[in-house]
Amino acid sequence: MFDMDDFLRDAGAERVDESACAKLGELLEDNGSAVLFRAAQLARYAGRRRVLRKDVMLAARLLKVA
């Protein structure tokens, strides 16, 4: 929770509700899992066992996260 609080405050929030921190954590976890799963698929499709930065970026773009 406190990491999300710091993250929101760094983004400019003066006050942060605990439920906002929890929701942000859920969203990041859900989207992060989907992006990483897709990035692993892309790496395997490219014949690699290692996931590269470009795999993560492409996966986020394909999933419309970034």
Q: Is residue 34 helix, strand or coil?
A: helix
12: left (phi over 0), alpha (psi -120 to 50) or beta: left
In the predicted model, is pLDDT for residue 2 greater than 80? no
Q: For residue 60, what are the contacts with CB-CB under 8 A and spacing of at least 6? A: 35, 66
pLDDT of 61 reads 94
pLDDT per residue as tens digits for the range 47-58: 999 999 999 999
pLDDT per residue as tens digits for the range 5-59: 888 989 999 999 999 988 988 888 888 999 999 999 999 999 999 999 999 999 9
CATH 1.10.20.10 fits 2-62, yes or no: yes
Chain length of the chain: 66
In the predicted model, is pLDDT for residue 1 greater than 80? no
